[in-house]
Structure 1
Amino acid sequence: MPLQNDQLDASLSDCLREVLDPEIGLNVVDLGLVTRAQRSSEAVMVRLTLTSRACPLGEMVLAEVRKKIAQSYPEVTRMDIRLIWHPPWTPDRITDRGYELLGRTRTRTLT
């Protein structure tokens, strides 16, 4: 389920690739956790999910996202960073690059 280009600001996505999921060890963008990442000169808005609602490390991931954004965009005066649960995360959200970083190949089904 690839995201539309207008949902992920390229520069912001690069910044968020520095945030790793602590259990899987893959960045949150290529793992498919970031559903929206947009910025203006004053604000950044990020929506992300986790692989499971039961993940005990969600607050740690959010804190790391906030930290990386603050470091990369010190001029930003507003950050709107939220966890969302719809749509739910599935392995289909992992990017091709994510599969490569995991040392795996995406399995595609024919319809």
Structure 2
Amino acid sequence: MSATRFAYEGPPGLLPAIEAALHRVIDPEVALDIVDVGLVYGVHVAEDRVDVNVTMTSAACPVADVIVEDIEFQLDQSLPGNLKIHVELVWEPPWTPERMSARARLFMGW
């Protein structure tokens, strides 16, 4: 994993805006942002498209749609208007608590 906590391929100049946008997306079940929880697996930017691979802590996550919509909204607000945003929910590899940042583990008492 990169220093950004998720894999990133794309123009270096877009990374700060993408990272800031994803940090604004809060998982309502744990009250932490999705980057610190480790839900973002990767972002790939090519030509006019931004692909984001994310997971949930469980396949039964009741707020998955809310999180995906918020990712799309936050990125849409932060990136140039010509970029199409595509968020894909993936299950491999499965999420584990080891993906959480030290800050998130501390917050959760782990």
Q: What is the percent sequence identity of the aligned residues? A: 30
- 1:80 shift after superposition: 1.8
- How far apart are the structure 2 equivalents of 1:78 and 1:60? 19
Q: Determine which structure has the larger strand proportion and give its number.
A: 2
Is 1:95 equivalent to 2:93 in the alignment? no
Which residue of 2 is the match for residue 24 of structure 1? 30
- How far apart are the structure 2 equivalents of 1:72 and 1:41? 17
- 1:39 shift after superposition: 2.6
Query: Unpaired runs of 5+ in structure 2?
Result: 10-14
TM-score of the superposition, structure 1-length normalised?
0.80
**Which structure's CA Rg is the greater one?**
1
3-state SS of the aligned residue for 2:32? coil
Please tell me the residue identity of whatever aligns with 1:88. P
Q: Is the 8 A contact 1:20 1:27 kept in 2?
A: yes
Which residue of 1 is the match for residue 63 of structure 2? 57
Which residue of 2 is the match for residue 4 of structure 1? 2
Which residue of 1 is the match for residue 73 of structure 2? 67
Q: Determine which structure has the larger helix proportion and give its number.
A: 2
Q: CA RMSD in A?
A: 2.1
- 1:17 shift after superposition: 0.3
Aligned length: 102
- Runs of 4 or more, structure 1, over 3 Å off, are none
TM-score of the superposition, structure 2-length normalised?
0.80
- 1:103 shift after superposition: 6.3
- 1:41 shift after superposition: 5.8
- How far apart are the structure 2 equivalents of 1:55 and 1:71? 25
Which residue of 1 is the match for residue 12 of structure 2? none
3-state SS of the aligned residue for 2:53? strand
